[in-house]
Structure 1
Amino acid sequence: MGRIKTVLVKRVSRELVDNYEDRLSTDYATNKQSIKSLAHIPSKKIENVVAGYVTRLMRARKAA
């Protein structure tokens, strides 16, 4: 079983994917750098979790 993502992480990630889908990819490291320039997230840990969830969402969109 995996970790549960908080509402904040899911909401921010969905907004980023909806608004900036062209700047995001299925690669975690690339998304991590992109998110630094696209959103102001004060916590490094939350920034990493958002980058991971964005990567997951992008892979799901690509597969669909």
Structure 2
Amino acid sequence: MAIKPAYVKKTGRLLMEKYPDAFGPDFEHNKELVTELTNIESKGVRNRIAGYVTRKQRSPQPA
């Protein structure tokens, strides 16, 4: 498994903190939200951030 660059994790965590109820386990929905909520123009970076957020949303949350 590849290690995500720090900016992907940082941006993903920031978006999840700022908009906790907006993101879910659906990658396509998260990808659209990342496009709307950020000014990231690179498709690859957008997809990495959306993938990171999706993975975090699908993993079991600590109680």
TM-score by length of 1: 0.87
**Residue equivalent to 1:18:** 17
- Other structure's SS at 1:45 match: helix
What runs of 5+ residues in structure 2 fail to find an aligned partner?
none
For structure 1, list consecutive stretches of 5 or more residues without a partner in the other structure.
Answer: none
Query: 1:8-33: CA deviations, max 9, x gaps?
Result: 00000000111112111111011001
Q: Whole-Å Cα distance in 1 between the matches of residues 39 and 22 of structure 2?
A: 16
C-alpha distance in structure 2 between counterparts of 1:45 and 1:29, whole Å = 14
Cross-structure match for 1:37 = 36
2: CA distance, partners of 1:41 / 1:35: 8
Superposition deviation, residue 3 in structure 1 = 1.1
* TM-score, normalization by structure 2: 0.89
Runs of 4+ off more than 4 Å: none
- For the aligned residue pairs, the C-alpha RMSD in angstroms reads 0.9
Q: Which residue matches 2:46?
A: 47
Question: How many residues are matched?
Answer: 61
Query: Offset at 1:53?
Result: 0.1
Q: Percent identity?
A: 38
